[in-house]
Each structure stands twice: as structure tokens, then as C-alpha cells.
Amino acid sequence: MLQPPPGAALRHGATDRRVTGLRDRLVRAGVTDPGIAPDAVPDPSVFDRGVDHAVRAFQQHKGLIVDGVVGPETEAALNDAQYTLGDRPLAFDESQPLHGDDVEELQNNLSLLGFYYGHLDGTFNRQTEFAVRELQSSLGVRVDGEVALETLAGLARVSKKITSAKAFSLRDHRRLGMLHEALRERDVILIPSGAIAQETPQGAPEDFAEDQDRISLDVAVKVHDLLRNVGAAPVLVDPCPAPYGEARTVENERTVVTDPREALTSHPSALVLCLQCDWNSSPHAEGVATFFWGDPSTGQPHAPIGQMASTMILRELVARTGAQDLGAHARQWSELRAAGTAAAWVALGYLSNGGERAKLQDDTYRARLAESLLCGLQRVLAPSTDAASTATGTMSLADIQSYYHQNP
């Protein structure tokens, strides 16, 4: 059996004492296979087929990449899944906010009752506390912002009155109503793959991460320049900033930060685009896909503007590049969840496919990808304009510039 180095991701075939704890956490997260429990096997430290199957089932349920590898993303989701609502008292702690599936369940209930209008991010923040206090006041219980037995009992009494109306979507739709004519001076955060903590796909070559980071960064740079040219306020996240193509623009004219958290904190109302490339064990896999924050089991968006941006961008990508349409999907990835604002994750193509890899290596094709992203955003932010009504794939940069010239 393989003994992984300390702190390394766990996967099938490994022997590690952390696997024993992993078994316990999978059980607490709702995995029903009785053979997963540590006391059900001779050596609970072995990452056997049963654990591999359970991890993949958990990843599928959570909308994560189903690879059987317990890396940072799966670890975080497992940690969140250790609690259901009622397992522990919940309250706001500014220094160490509580986080977990129980908090997300609470936020969902509060949103359906009309008290909470934020994203379901599973973090007990100040906005969640205010919603709890409103609930407590309505229930006639002590108003202290803490979700303990009395508040939980009151919530249970009214839970039958909760409808399927997603009140948490109202704020996003309200924002969308204010976004018309708003590419101008609109904050857009561009996060290429090099600024996102990711596990290299199993079977991918050693140069995959380097190629992906280079391609996604170049597309992000091109989008940055296009956005700036129409008056937007783009922010490029690059953990290792360096001079970019002098022919396009001078680097110091760009807004560049090294940490995505810094960008999100400084621009809380920004639209966020995360860019990556894909890899698949089959060399025939090809196409483009987009992802938004939502429930993967139902497709219900938790960030409606993020869903709209994902859909519009995907349409433009398919129309302008001829790439296969792999759809826009709800996911619970931490980058989508943590943004706290409208975010779209864009998979630009498969480096495992020879033809698609050659296209992604081509500068002209990457420029076409960047223009597709720009036009997708324009369709979200100005849906009633003449430029936006142009058929998908035919809007040009001149159309967008003309729109802002006519709408000063």
C-alpha cells in the first residue's frame, strides 16, 4: 500500500492514519454504506475500494469533481458536512465565523421565510445574525441572534409554512435590475487557474498545470483589456505578476492583485470570472462548459446573476468558436461559494484533446475566447439594448463601444 507524504491528498491505495478519520467523517456526512465504518474493516487506515466509492458518491452529491481524491476541495466539503441543523448552537463570531452545512440549512430556511436575502454560503456572518434576530422577533422568543433550542423549536413550528419561493434570489434579481448600462465602471474580477487552489487531474501530464495557467492567464489579460476599453473596471488576479504583451498595453495600466481574497474584499459587488482548462482520460472529450453557485441535484441557482452570466457566456463561446456545448451547471465549488457575489466558472476546453489543445495554444483563438466572455457579460448587463438583441455570436466590440457612446 502507498504511504502518502504528510499532508498530501488521500486517494485509493493509500495507507494513512488519516483514512480512519476519513471513514468517520464520511459516515457523519451521510454515507450509508455500513462497510465504511472503521470498526467494519480489518485495517481502517487503508484507502480501499469501499472508501473510494464512498468519496466519489460524496463528491457527486456535493457537485464536486468526482475523482476519488480527498484534496482541499473535498476536505472542506467534508468538514462542512459534519453538522446538520440542531447539532450545535449557532451564533455570530466575528473572529472565527461558524461554517457548515447546518449554517447553510439555516440560511435556506431563513431565506424561504423572507428574512435572509444573501447567498447560501454556509457562513454564519453578520447578515445571517440579523436574519436570525428578525426571525426571533417574529416568533416572540428571546432576540439574541443565537440559534439554540428555543429558536430551533420556533423554526420547526413554522417550517410547514415555508414555500419553494427562493427569497435569497431577490437581492440578486434586484441587483440585476440596477445593472443595465453598467459595463461602464463595473467591477469585474478575473481569476485564472493559477490563482485557484486545484488538484492536477489524475492522469494529466506534468506540464498540464503550467499550460493551463499560461492559457487561462492570457485569456484573462485579453478580457481585462477589452473590458477596460469599454469603460469597465476590471481587476486581474495573478499570484506571480509579470510584464504582459507590450504590443497590447503597458502592464502598469492594469489593475493586478496577487490574492483573490484581496480582490473580493475590495470589490464586494463585482462580477467574478474564474477561468480554467479541462483534462479527461479520453482524448475524445472536447467542448466548453460553465458553472455557477447552486444546488447540483436540482440545478437551482443560489446566485441568479452568476447563472445568467454562465448561460450567456456559454452561448457566446459556442457560437464564436464552434466548440461543443457541454452546458451550464450548478456546483458548490468553494471559489463560487466564497465569492459572495455573482460568479461564473468557465472551462475553456480540453488540453487532453489534440485538436482543442492546438486551438488553445493559438493566440487568435484565445482572443476569440476573450471576446466571447466580454459579449456574454454585455448581454447580462444590458439585455434590453440594440447591441444585446443582436443574434448570439454576431455582437462585436464595435457594437459594445457604440452602445456606450450612445448611452453616456
Per-residue pLDDT reduced to its tens digit, 271-322 = 899 999 999 989 999 999 999 988 888 887 777 788 889 999 999 999 999 9
Instruction: Read off the C-alpha cell for 329.
Output: 451547471
- Taking only the tens place, the pLDDT of each residue in 346-375 is 999 999 999 999 999 999 999 999 999 999
**Residues 201-215, mean pLDDT to the nearest whole number:** 91
Backbone angles phi, psi at 351, to 5 degrees: -75, -10
Report the CATH fold assignment for 17-80: Muramoyl-pentapeptide Carboxypeptidase; domain 1 (1.10.101)
- pLDDT (0 to 100) of residue 312: 92
pLDDT band, residue 6 (cuts 50/70/90): low
Looking only at the bridges linking them, the beta strands covering 271-278 and 288-293 are unpaired
What is the residue extent of each domain of the chain? 17-80, 101-167, 172-406
Q: According to the model, what pLDDT value does residue 234 have? A: 94
Phi-psi region of 7 (alpha: psi -120 to 50; beta: other; left: phi over 0): left
At 321, give phi and psi (nearest 5°): -110, -15
pLDDT (tens digit, 9 = 90+) per residue, 112-162? 777 887 778 889 999 999 999 988 988 888 999 999 988 988 888 776 555
Under the banding of pLDDT at 50, 70 and 90, the label for residue 237 is: very high
Looking at 96-105, 165-174, 255-264, 399-408, which range is the least confident one? 165-174
b/e burial code for range 225-238 (CB count within 10 A of at least 16 → b):
bbbbebebbbbbbb
The yes-or-no answer to whether 17-80 and 101-167 have a common fold is yes
What is the average pLDDT score of the chain?
83
- Which amino acid, residue 351? L
- Cα–Cα distance, 204 to 213 (Å, whole number): 14
Per CATH, the architecture of 101-167 is what?
Answer: Orthogonal Bundle (1.10)
Segments of 160-310 assigned E as strands: 187-191, 233-237, 256-257, 271-278, 288-293
pTM summary value:
0.64
Considering 3-7, 63-67, 369-373, the range whose residues carry the highest mean pLDDT is 369-373
Residue 1's pLDDT is: 52
Taking alpha carbons only, the member of 349, 225, 332, 230 closest to residue 278 is 349
Distance (Å, whole) CA 217 – CA 211:
10
pLDDT (tens digit per residue) in 150-172: 898 888 877 655 544 344 444 45
What's the CA gap between 294 and 284, in Å, rounded? 29
Q: Report whether 374 contacts 312 (CB < 8 A).
A: no
- In single-letter form, the type of residue at position 196 comes to I
Rounded CA-CA distance 322/219 in Å is 17
Q: Kindly report, residue by residue over 26-60, the tens digit of the pLDDT.
A: 998 888 888 899 999 999 999 999 999 999 999 98
Q: What is the pLDDT of residue 304?
A: 77
Overall fold of domain 172-406: Aminopeptidase (3.40.630)
Q: Bridge-partner residues for 275, per DSSP? A: 346
